[in-house]
């Protein structure tokens, strides 16, 4: 596959001219609300990369992970469900609309074949398993969230793409019709159907598909439907934006929260386990699903640690948590009434 094509394209001059008028864009790059170093003070990229090469036990499963085969094309129209595909990829059908978030179905989260491979069992779902999708949501353009091969295979199934500013340039370069792409800044909303509104909200992270960082916007989403209010988190370190989102749009029936690929060497761009409950409380979320785990090794923690700690801290803080296997249907109408088995414990 052509690597240059996979890289996508920098925002065009018309986009950059508009971006330059925005308060969160400076010197040709989007900015976080808080100063956000990529690495902890005193660390270097070389040291961090060497750290990731160190042999650590249990960063990948020893056997195939379990998954549930759900026929997404034959869901009952009245079903309100979420189905997680591992890492940050998931499907939502709610109030008659279908959403797909950050799908990566190519088997790896890197432009280099054979690298950052999906764990066995975590790569069952492919583009051909997806039904027609009303809205494809992309949180940012990192390889583990925006996969060229996957989105190209889905092109004819997707009604609209909703993403942060600049990310739509990739889709246009890949041949998507401009009319199918909706790009917005933080705090901007789109009324996508009667009773449905999506608002792009801040995240504390960065963007970039190779060396040029932050020329497109990273984001989280608030999805309001006729029956529910959902927070769909993107990659993010802890910051005061969670309180602001909660105050503006909470409470939420469910928050889908990044929980994995963290490291003490990059504490500002990924949530640490001990920060997760604070974020959920600040969002005013009644229930949460921990994602960004169980598919790719992008850090040095045990593959199951994010789930193990999320369950532990949720119990200690009396916060309901939803813990599906890959492919398992989550009934959004009965959140908080299902006892979820700690499925990963059988695979440690």
Distance of CA 324 to the CA centre of its chain: 16
Distance CA 224, CA 51 (A): 41
Distance CA 150, CA 185 (A): 25
Please, are residues 230 and 252 in contact by the beta-carbon 8 Å criterion? yes
Instruction: Give every strand in the sheet of 229-232, ordered side by side.
Output: 189-193, 196-201, 220-224, 229-232, 254-258, 288-291
Give the three-state DSSP class for 1.
coil
In the prediction, which pLDDT does 74 show? Answer: 99
First to last CA, the chain: 35
The pLDDT tens digits of the residues spanning 158-183 come to 999 999 999 999 999 999 999 999 99
In the prediction, which pLDDT does 45 show? Answer: 58
The pLDDT tens digits of the residues spanning 181-198 come to 999 999 999 999 999 999
Work out the pLDDT band at 44, boundaries 50, 70, 90.
Answer: low
The pLDDT tens digits of the residues spanning 102-123 come to 999 999 999 888 889 999 999 9
Domains present along the chain, CATH in parentheses: 58-106+119-347 (3.60.15.10)
In the prediction, which pLDDT does 294 show? Answer: 99
Question: pTM value?
Answer: 0.96
- β-strands 133-138, 220-224 pairing: unpaired
């Amino acid at each position: 596959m052509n690597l240059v094509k996979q890289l996508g394209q920098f925002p065009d001059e018309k986009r950059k001219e508009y971006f330059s008028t925005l308060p969160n864009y400076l010197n040709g790059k989007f900015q976080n609300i808080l100063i956000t170093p990529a690495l902890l003070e005193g660390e270097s990229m070389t040291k961090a990369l060497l750290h990731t090469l160190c042999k650590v036990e249990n960063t990948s499963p020893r056997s195939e992970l379990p998954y549930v085969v759900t026929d997404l094309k034959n869901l009952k129209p009245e079903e309100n469900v979420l189905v997680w595909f591992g890492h940050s990829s998931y499907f939502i059908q709610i109030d008659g609309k279908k959403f797909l978030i950050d799908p990566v179905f190519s088997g790896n989260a890197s432009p280099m074949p054979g690298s950052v491979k999906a764990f066995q069992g975590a790569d069952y779902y492919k583009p051909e398993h997806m039904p027609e999708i009303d809205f494809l949501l992309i949180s940012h353009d990192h390889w583990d969230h925006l996969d060229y091969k996957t989105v190209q295979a889905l092109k004819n199934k997707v009604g609209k793409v909703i993403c942060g500013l600049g990310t739509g340039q990739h889709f246009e370069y890949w041949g998507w019709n401009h009319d199918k792409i909706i790009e917005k800044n933080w705090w901007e909303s789109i009324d996508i159907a009667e009773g449905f509104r999506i608002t792009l909200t801040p995240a504390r992270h960065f963007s970039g598909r190779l060396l040029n960082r932050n020329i497109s916007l990273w984001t989280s989403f608030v999805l309001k439907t006729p029956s529910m209010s959902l927070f769909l988190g993107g990659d993010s370190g802890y910051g005061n934006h969670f309180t602001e989102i909660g105050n503006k749009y909470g409470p939420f029936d469910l928050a889908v929260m990044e929980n994995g690929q963290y490291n003490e060497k990059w504490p500002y761009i990924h949530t640490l386990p001990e920060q997760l409950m604070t974020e959920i409380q600040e969002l005013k979320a009644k229930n949460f699903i921990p994602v960004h785990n169980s598919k790719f090794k992008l850090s040095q923690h045990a593959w199951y640690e994010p789930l193990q700690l999320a369950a532990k801290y949720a119990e200690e803080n009396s916060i309901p948590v939803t813990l599906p296997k890959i492919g398992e249907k989550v009934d959004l109408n009965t959140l908080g009434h299902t006892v979820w088995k700690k499925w990963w414990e059988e695979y440690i």
